[in-house]
Structure formats: C-alpha cells, structure tokens
Amino acid sequence: MASAVKRTALKLGMIPADGIGKEVLPAAQRVLEALGSSIPKTTFIPLQAGWEEFNRNGKALPDETVKILKEECDGAMFGSVSSPSHKVAGYSSPIVALRKHLDLYANVRPVSSVSIPNQKSYHQCDMVIVRENTECLYIKKEEISTNPDGSKKAIAYRQITSNASSRIGKMAFEIALRRGAEREAARKAGKEVWWNGEPKVTIVHKSNVLSVTDGLFRESVRAVKEGTDRYNGVKMEEQLVDSMVYRMFREPEIFDVAVAPNLYGDIISDGAAALVGSLGLVPSINAGDDFVMGEPVHGSAPDIEGQNIANPIASIRSAALLLSSLGYVEPASRINAAVDTVLAEGEYLTPDLGGKSSTTDVTDAVLKRL
C-alpha cells in the first residue's frame, strides 16, 4: 500500500460517480472534515466518472480525472458505478479503468461482525479478503462469432500472471503479519481477542479445473511464503472457491486473511457482507504501492437513489481505511469507534438494517460520537 508520508496538507479526489454514490460520498467527506486538526488540512477535489458521465460526454472516465488523480491527489474516494448489464459501444467500467491507470492492484475488504439490534448473528467473523485487482477475466477481452449453423459463440479471455499473483500474495501475507502483531499487542494490553493461534492466509482458487491459470496463481502465492523466513509465523492453507463459499457461510470464524484472483475475490467479498448484515456496512480500499482509493463495496442502488435512505457506513468506513493507509491511524480509529457505537446503540439505522433512519440521520449520529 501507499507508504505513510508526513504531509502538511492533503488533497483527496472525490468521485461520487452514479446512483447513491452521490449521497454516501458527501457523508464520508463530512466525517473527514469533522476530524479537524487531527489530520492535515484537507482539500477535496470533485471529479467526474461513471455511466451518467458517459451519457453526458461520451466517456466514462475522463482523461482530466485521471490526470488530476495522478498529478495532484494524495488519495481518492470513489462512490459507486451503474455499469449497464449489456454491451454498450464505447463504454468501459471507470472503476476497472482507474485500477489499471493508477496500478491499484489490490482490493482490500475487511469484513467484521458487529452487534446490530434485531439482527440474528450465528458466527463471529473478522476476516480480510484481498482481491487481485488488475487481471483475471476483468481484462475485458471478449469476442463473439457466428457458428456455421447460425448460433452464436462468445469467448472471454482470462489472464493470470506470476508477477500480479506474487505481489497480491505478498500483500496478503503482510496484512496477516500486521493483524497478528495487532492481536498480540491487544492481548498484552489485557483486551479480549477471540482469534487464537497464528495469523493465517487462505489461498482461494479452482486449480483442480483451471490447472493452468489458477495453477499459476496458487503456485505464485505459495512461493511468496516459501521463498522467505519472514512469514514463518503465518499459517498458509488453500480452499477451492466453491468450498470457500460454503465454509465462509458455515464457519466464517475459521478465516483470517483470504487472497483470491479478481473474479473470485469480487464474489466472495460481496457474499461475505451478508455475514455482517448488509453491503452498506462493508468498506474497501483499492491499493497500489503509491496510491490508495477508498470505495464502499455496495453498488449504485438505483432503486433507492435520491431517497436519502442509503447506508453511509460503508463509505465512512472506507474513508477511515483510506486514512489508515495514508498513515493517519488514530483519526481512522476514532471514525471506526464512532461508527461501532452508532451501530451498537441501534437508534440510527437505515432500512437495509431494519431501521427507519435516513442517510443524513446516520451521518449526523456518527459525527456526534466523534
């Protein structure tokens, strides 16, 4: 991830894009602004991208947006995108393109159970899903042809490289090391830590069928641990992706850090949101070596757009993840503590969590507890 640098000021690109992104990103900005002097003076730069931008100007990701992010910004926040479900000439997902332009090769999604009133919880869950962000089927190389009998044939190309697999594997092992150190520090401080044993990385693949592509991913990630003593204290295991989904819902408490190729990571991280109540709670960051962009896991939710009932928590938590990745750990912890308090109290919950509060109500409640 981007290394912590001492700054006198911060510039963050804000890309609300489509749907409820235009409602939850301002909520995250309000929380960041409320931190005051605990972070450097922050300038928020509004930037354009998305399906709506494509319909306005013919380009889902304007060159100017990429230029400003690269040349002026220390980090960014992305809202949500409404990509069409069918092929549209000239359109390509702006979030996928941003990951490539900025070399944001990792999507890091923590999923942790919280106490939410009126929500039945069967398992403890505190895992991080580390998703390779730049290749797999998401290289978007597809073609369609007509067979002699007039039927159609569509082919999608899947790319897995040892370089991309190795660096995502390294990030997963580094995250596991850090989580292990944090748990040990908590134990020494007398705090309760329910995870017992060594930190663990689970490699998710389907190499029993896709022996070449998933085989390369599996071998490359395994080589990260096997090639150094640094990760001797991190346990390594494997799960076939279908088994991973089953066990994640049956016994999520057995997982610590999971690392997966792009498509599998996308699916299991969205599915994992069900373990904690809602996609509206789950944050993520798109991380590279030199840049980090926060992004709530949920989509653009056009069915509730403009109603002021979208859950802002995922966006607010994504802002906290962004701060932490930039080196501002204490302010990020304050945000997370405020969010956890609001959820635990249960007075201000949006409809996705069984409540009746608005986006504004929940944001105000978080601000009050800051």
290-307 confidence digits (pLDDT tens): 999 999 989 999 999 999
The counts of H helices and E strands in the chain are 11, 12
- Say which DSSP state 131 is in: E
The answer on 54 and 32 residing in a single domain is yes
Residue 267 has pLDDT above 60, yes or no: yes
Q: Is 148 exposed, middle or buried (0-12, 13-18, 19+ CB in 10 A)?
A: exposed
In a domain, 256, yes or no: yes
How confident is the model at residue 1, as a pLDDT? 62
Q: In terms of pLDDT, which residue wins out, 68 or 116? A: 68
pLDDT bracket for residue 5 (50, 70, 90):
low
In a domain, 115, yes or no: no
The answer on 350 and 245 residing in a single domain is no
The answer on 252 and 132 residing in a single domain is yes
* CATH number of the domain residue 36 falls in: 3.40.718.10
The answer on 287 and 270 residing in a single domain is no
The answer on 230 and 131 residing in a single domain is yes
pLDDT bracket for residue 117 (50, 70, 90):
very low
Residue 118 has pLDDT above 80, yes or no: no
The answer on 234 and 145 residing in a single domain is yes
What is the percent of the chain with per-residue pLDDT over 90, rounded to a whole number? 78
Which of 257, 275, 293 is at the close of a domain?
Answer: 275
In a domain, 205, yes or no: yes
Which of 275, 292, 309 is at the close of a domain?
Answer: 275
pLDDT bracket for residue 274 (50, 70, 90):
confident
Residue 54 has pLDDT above 60, yes or no: yes
In a domain, 142, yes or no: yes
The answer on 251 and 360 residing in a single domain is no
In a domain, 330, yes or no: yes
The answer on 261 and 131 residing in a single domain is yes
The answer on 266 and 127 residing in a single domain is yes
Positive or negative torsion for Cα 233, 239, 245, 251: negative
- Mean predicted confidence (pLDDT) in 147-160: 97
In a domain, 101, yes or no: yes
- Mean predicted confidence (pLDDT) in 199-221: 97
What is the percent of the chain with per-residue pLDDT over 70, rounded to a whole number? 96
Structural domain harbouring 255:
122-275
Write out the H or E segment, with its range, that includes residue 16: strand 9-17
The answer on 106 and 11 residing in a single domain is yes
Q: Distance between CA atoms of 2 and 110, rounded to whole angstroms?
A: 18
Residue 16 has pLDDT above 90, yes or no: yes
- pTM for this structure? 0.88
What's at 220, amino acid-wise?
S
Give pLDDT tens digits for 154-199: 999 999 999 999 999 999 999 999 999 888 888 888 888 888 889 9
pLDDT bracket for residue 121 (50, 70, 90):
low
| Number of domain units in the chain | 2
The answer on 103 and 10 residing in a single domain is yes
Q: What is the mean pLDDT of the chain?
A: 92
37 Rama sector, left if φ>0, alpha if ψ -120 to 50, beta otherwise: alpha
The answer on 259 and 127 residing in a single domain is yes
In a domain, 117, yes or no: no
Which of 248, 275, 302 is at the close of a domain?
Answer: 275
pLDDT bracket for residue 4 (50, 70, 90):
low
All residues at 6 or more sequence positions from 216 whose CB lies less than 8 Å from its CB, including other chains: 160, 161, 162, 165
In a domain, 291, yes or no: yes
Residue 116 has pLDDT above 60, yes or no: no
